[in-house]
Structure 1
Amino acid sequence: MRKNWSLFTKLALFERPSHELEEIGREIVKKCKGLPLATKTIGRLLQCKRTRDEWQRVLDSELWEFEEIEKGLFSPLMLSYYDLPSIIRRCFSYCAIFPKDYNIDKVDLIRLWMAQGYLELEKHAKLETIGEECFDHLATRSFLQEFVKYEDVISGYKMHDIVHDFALFLSNGECLAIEVNIGDKDPFINSSNKNVRHLMLKVNKGVSFPMSICSVKSLRSLLMISDDRDYNALSGDVLQNLCKLTCLRSLKFPKCRVEEIPKDIKKLIHLRYLDLSLQNIVQLPESLCELYNLHTLVIIGCFSIVELPQGIGKLVNLRRLKNNDCVGLLYIPKEIEKLTGLQTLSEFVISSEGDNDSKACSLEGLKFLNNLEGSLTIRGLGFVKIASDGKINQVLTNKENLTRLTLLFHKLKRIDRRSFQLITTGGGISCEDYELVLEALLPPPKLEVLEIEYYRGNTFPSTWITSLTKLKSLFLRNVSNCENLHPLGKLPSLERLYIFSMNNVKKVDNVFWGMESGTSSSSSSSYFFPKLEKLEFWHMNECEEWDNNIAKKGEDKEHIKFMPCLATLRIVSCHKLKALPDSLLQGIALKELNIFACNILRERYKEGTGEDWHKISHIPKIQIDN
């Protein structure tokens, strides 16, 4: 009981000690019967209750008399649940569609709520924003709990088993999660499941699809899941019958090796969310463009798909087209220009025929899609032959909500279905054309992540890279012709820098730091890469020197700081590099040093025998291959 009281006070009485509230609080904790989840739920509820009367009403509530499974644990959950606005209560009960211990993706769940019409549009607010608020409210009340974190970003949530039971209770049979194994009876032969409106289905390997599901005409959500890459293929008959479920708002059946989507998919006129990820489809039927209510189309990992429907402009409500890893896609249809409300377009693919392809949207056509947000990849920039006419200058600048941009000057083409072997192709344009294209693609001001790959220009844009004051991560890969690194040290917010295969760079010099050779520093403090935390050089095959002689030329060496926040330094396959800058190795922030496949560096910094081992021995984590 003492532990529960301590937990309760941390949540409900945090920074507001009160004798009156403490007295009532102890009575409330008693009603939680020593159960931590109950205590946590009530504590979260009372965080937003400020007065004695509000706390007394919680204590006196008749819901404490509610007796159900788990010794009345539903009582505190009920109290917290009925304190929520009706829109959030509806969203929570939908979570019963997930099986226990399921890793819930926040973004996907919000999309599913939207598909069911649960989120009410408010003035000056997007549905996605309202969904975020609903989700965060449920997480604050402990109905959803953090599960997966990566670099401080939460990527998954789960429900406690008791909370899941509570959600099932509230759904009153409308939500159901079923796993079908070999020997199991058809789940919908039993009439007790006829009330189901939202179904998550897992059909394990070797089991036929339970066709009785197609008889539940009132089904509004059908989400199929699988852990097996070799999941049984859905036959044409199954898909044809699924097209009879005309009440569906959400349909998801990834990893089913589907080769053709039936034309009758147009019958699903209420469909708002469609996930066809990891299928073997070569193209989508034009009839799909009659799904006017569709707001989310997911075709992630459909490696074989070569083109999208020409009539895609009819999907006037489409907000998200997630087409990452569709490596065989030849182009984006020209009609995409009509979808000015599009918020997500994972990859924009430029046709290898350039402006001669009348069916394809040109790079210039991207200027119509200024509502794009989050991440965008542009693939095939090596086929853009005319950039000097100024037509593509405003393609990206006005996309203020883009935070991640990937510029690929090559294209990927799948050449073998069985081996999944890929080849890269690029255009035949000159180095000058590459430079003109990259110069014209001035990114939006809020960009945080930039990737450039297979760029064949001799230099980087002189005007815009150093203007990206919000940039946190920069990746440069396979940049074959550049002999010098750009003055990246001037980027004030850069935290991570990755440079791969810049084989013409022979020396990392003062240009890289952001100060030209021979320029003296002032007596005031000068910082180069002021926030950089992680730096990686890979496959810099010709690089021999890494110089930071600015300090030697400066008037006041003590006020010059090189990467003062650098915590991780990784050097891989830089065979000719002779030494690392002492100023970096002696940095107090450096916690990890990795040196792999670098023969000279290995001998120079080898423990015990290396001439400069003493310069790195203080670093907490050192990895040098033998």
Structure 2
Amino acid sequence: MWDELRLPFQAGALGSRIVITARSEKVAMAMGNIHMHKLEALSDEDCWLMFSRSAFGDQSAEERLELKEIGQGIVKKCGGIPLAAKTIGSAMQSRRTRRQWELVLESETWNLVDVMEGILPALLLSYYDLPPALKQCFAYCSIFPKDWELEKDTIVKLWIAQGFIGSDTSEDMEEIGGLYFDDLLRRSLLQDAEMGSNGSIFSCKMHDLVHDLAQSVAGNDCLIVGMTQQANLNLNKVHHSFIFSSSMFEVTSISSTFHKADKLRTLLVSHGSRVFPPKLEMSLMKQVRISIRLHKLFHHLQCLRALDMTGAKIVKLPRTVGQLKHLRYLDLSYSNIEEISAGLINCVNLQTLIRNACEWLRKLPREMRKMISLRHLELERTNNLSYLPKGIGRLSTLQTLTKFIVGGNHGVDGCDLGELKHLNLLQGSLDITQLQNVSSQEEAREAELYKKRHLHTLSLYFNYPTYGEEVGDEEKREEKTGPGLPISLLSAFFN
């Protein structure tokens, strides 16, 4: 791979350089480096500066002075490693007394380096400092490959699907999960935060050494499966697995292997292109060849809570999906599915259904109103979906509904606008399309959009036919929609 990658660089201008960073001299040697710069460990002074920036929050000058000597002792145990100093410093923020700092300095964990080879003691101490709920959330992140972009929204939904997020009321589970994610970032167990368009954290990454720690504490609970690991996999104790390949592949053989994993709770299937999940293009997805005997797979994986088959070349979801009674998260984005099997409505615990960029999707299950646990329904870039099934308004726990299609013939074909009335927990973005099917201001008022206080983006679409099509002239257009209807509807929506 390196030989192929460096070919274009051989045509670089005179004086060009390639800089490679690695923790192993073997990597540098294999790449034929011309010169090697060996970075020394941080000095105690610089290491202390990095530690103190993370450790001291709103402590007074007196408190800082009292803790300085102990803190410098902790810093010396970090061995001049910046990650260790920053992470243990973040863990010390919640410790305010001298005795609490002394306990860290005197901890036997500093001597466990031989017991847990490759795991920095400072990182292990930071893990021990986590609350129990946060420990399992952190360990779960080891299911993703190193250098993977951890999207905050996705991770939180997966944590909820696994039952990691406790809450007195179901409405604030996502908020609590978001705080967990932010806490891991604050503790430097996550890094490289990317911000979304609304100014909130969109994604993070996990340092390789922190990922090693997560894998170590997760043990056999989480397993990443590459194409070279298909044979002799021991899946009896695995609860969460990620199937990953850097190129196009057939996963039929892997799916056969997973018939043994009857305790599996998470199954994520991915390929190399998905390292850029928000920016995937359909042209890439058409090259992906994924063939899975789903009906047999579902028969064995009765404990499954989360299933992600993004990009799978599946035309129809088998009815046996209804056997997955514990399923809470299902992502079938970028797939070729034309319609979702009616068997899905038997997944009464399903909380998240994601069908983004499914160009061929034409309809959803007719009895979808029975999926009373549904909290997130994502339907971005589903241009062939012409209506939503009636009764969608009964799903009062919905927090995400990216697309609402107004049915024609006053709701005979799909939902009328009034179905939005009771969906007051909606947040994020909402696109309302086919508004030309709304016949009056009274119908528009039934949506009660003014009660959707958590939405931050609302897009309204009037899809009028162009001149020469079925409704071809201005007279027929006004007969169908009423003159000036868009303006009057806007007035009804917001007054």
Q: TM-score range by the shorter chain?
A: 0.7 to 0.9
Once the 2 structures are TM-superposed, how far is the Cα of residue 337 of structure 1 from its aligned partner? 1.7
Contact in 2 for aligned 1:240/1:262 (Cα 8 Å): no
**Structure 2 gaps, min length 5:** 1-42, 274-283, 466-476
Q: Which protein, 1 or 2, shows the higher relative CO under an 8 Å CA cutoff with sep ≥ 6?
A: 2
Deviation per CA, 1:362-382, whole angstroms, max 9, x where unpaired? 012211211111111101112
Of 310, 324, 328, 1:272 maps to: 328
SS at match of 1:364: helix
Contact in 2 for aligned 1:310/1:359 (Cα 8 Å): no
Of 302, 312, 329, 1:256 maps to: 312
Contact in 2 for aligned 1:231/1:256 (Cα 8 Å): no
Contact in 1 for aligned 2:285/2:334 (Cα 8 Å): no
Matched residue, 2:51: 8
Higher helix share: 2
User: Matches of 1:124 and 1:237 in 2, distance apart?
Assistant: 35
Of 367, 370, 389, 1:314 maps to: 370
User: Matches of 2:331 and 2:118 in 1, distance apart?
Assistant: 39
User: 1:382-531 maps to which residues of 2 (within 5 A)?
Assistant: 382-387=436-441, 389=442, 392=445, 394-410=447-463, 428-442=480-494
Once the 2 structures are TM-superposed, how far is the Cα of residue 386 of structure 1 from its aligned partner? 2.2
Once the 2 structures are TM-superposed, how far is the Cα of residue 68 of structure 1 from its aligned partner? 4.3
Deviation per CA, 1:75-110, whole angstroms, max 9, x where unpaired? 212222122110001110101101000000001000
Q: TM-score, normalised by structure 1?
A: 0.64
Once the 2 structures are TM-superposed, how far is the Cα of residue 346 of structure 1 from its aligned partner? 0.5
Contact in 1 for aligned 2:306/2:329 (Cα 8 Å): yes
SS at match of 2:122: helix
User: Matches of 2:293 and 2:118 in 1, distance apart?
Assistant: 47
Distance 1:57 1:409, change over 3 A: same
The count of residues paired between Structure 1 and Structure 2 equals: 422
Contact in 2 for aligned 1:244/1:267 (Cα 8 Å): no
Deviation per CA, 1:113-170, whole angstroms, max 9, x where unpaired? 0000011113596111111111111111111112434565432211100100000000
Deviation per CA, 1:466-503, whole angstroms, max 9, x where unpaired? xxxxxxxxxxxxxxxxxxxxxxxxxxxxxxxxxxxxxx
Contact in 2 for aligned 1:337/1:369 (Cα 8 Å): yes
The residue identity in structure 2 corresponding to 1:100 is K
Contact in 2 for aligned 1:103/1:147 (Cα 8 Å): no
The residue identity in structure 2 corresponding to 1:381 is L
The residue identity in structure 2 corresponding to 1:435 is I
Distance 1:106 1:358, change over 3 A: same
Distance 1:195 1:112, change over 3 A: same
Of 215, 230, 241, 2:286 maps to: 230
Deviation per CA, 1:568-621, whole angstroms, max 9, x where unpaired? xxxxxxxxxxxxxxxxxxxxxxxxxxxxxxxxxxxxxxxxxxxxxxxxxxxxxx
Once the 2 structures are TM-superposed, how far is the Cα of residue 272 of structure 1 from its aligned partner? 0.2
The residue identity in structure 2 corresponding to 1:50 is R
Contact in 2 for aligned 1:277/1:299 (Cα 8 Å): yes
**Structure 1 gaps, min length 5:** 413-425, 443-463, 465-626
Contact in 2 for aligned 1:4/1:39 (Cα 8 Å): yes
Contact in 1 for aligned 2:236/2:260 (Cα 8 Å): no
User: Matches of 2:125 and 2:287 in 1, distance apart?
Assistant: 43
Large movers: runs of 4+ above 6 Å: 69-72
Q: Are 2:145 and 1:95 aligned?
A: no
The residue identity in structure 2 corresponding to 1:345 is L
Q: Are 2:142 and 1:142 aligned?
A: no
Of 405, 416, 423, 1:362 maps to: 416
Once the 2 structures are TM-superposed, how far is the Cα of residue 231 of structure 1 from its aligned partner? 4.9
Matched residue, 1:79: 125
* RMSD after superposition: 2.3
Q: Are 2:265 and 1:220 aligned?
A: yes
Once the 2 structures are TM-superposed, how far is the Cα of residue 185 of structure 1 from its aligned partner? 5.3
Distance 1:53 1:166, change over 3 A: same
User: Matches of 1:207 and 1:262 in 2, distance apart?
Assistant: 19
Distance 1:99 1:185, change over 3 A: closer
Once the 2 structures are TM-superposed, how far is the Cα of residue 16 of structure 1 from its aligned partner? 3.5
The residue identity in structure 2 corresponding to 1:10 is R
Once the 2 structures are TM-superposed, how far is the Cα of residue 202 of structure 1 from its aligned partner? 1.8
Matched residue, 1:67: 113
SS at match of 1:95: helix
Contact in 1 for aligned 2:419/2:447 (Cα 8 Å): no
Q: TM-score, normalised by structure 2?
A: 0.80
Q: Are 2:28 and 1:28 aligned?
A: no
Matched residue, 2:350: 294
Distance 1:350 1:115, change over 3 A: same
Q: Are 2:152 and 1:106 aligned?
A: yes
Contact in 2 for aligned 1:393/1:440 (Cα 8 Å): no
Matched residue, 1:527: none
The residue identity in structure 2 corresponding to 1:200 is F
Contact in 2 for aligned 1:202/1:224 (Cα 8 Å): yes
Contact in 2 for aligned 1:354/1:384 (Cα 8 Å): no
Contact in 1 for aligned 2:298/2:320 (Cα 8 Å): no
SS at match of 2:420: helix
SS at match of 2:449: coil
Distance 1:207 1:35, change over 3 A: same
Once the 2 structures are TM-superposed, how far is the Cα of residue 395 of structure 1 from its aligned partner? 2.4
Distance 1:398 1:153, change over 3 A: closer
Once the 2 structures are TM-superposed, how far is the Cα of residue 241 of structure 1 from its aligned partner? 2.2
SS at match of 1:46: helix
Once the 2 structures are TM-superposed, how far is the Cα of residue 65 of structure 1 from its aligned partner? 1.6
The residue identity in structure 1 corresponding to 2:364 is L
Deviation per CA, 1:332-361, whole angstroms, max 9, x where unpaired? 11121211111111100112x231x43511
Once the 2 structures are TM-superposed, how far is the Cα of residue 178 of structure 1 from its aligned partner? 2.2
Distance 1:27 1:350, change over 3 A: same
In our comparison, the structure showing a higher alpha carbon Rg is 1
User: Matches of 1:395 and 1:382 in 2, distance apart?
Assistant: 18
Contact in 2 for aligned 1:68/1:74 (Cα 8 Å): no
User: Matches of 1:50 and 1:248 in 2, distance apart?
Assistant: 43
Distance 1:384 1:338, change over 3 A: same
User: Matches of 2:200 and 2:393 in 1, distance apart?
Assistant: 33
Higher strand share: 1
Q: Are 2:338 and 1:303 aligned?
A: no
Of 223, 236, 241, 1:176 maps to: 223
User: Matches of 1:287 and 1:238 in 2, distance apart?
Assistant: 13
User: Matches of 2:143 and 2:114 in 1, distance apart?
Assistant: 21
User: Matches of 1:230 and 1:305 in 2, distance apart?
Assistant: 15
Distance 1:371 1:185, change over 3 A: closer
Once the 2 structures are TM-superposed, how far is the Cα of residue 233 of structure 1 from its aligned partner? 3.9
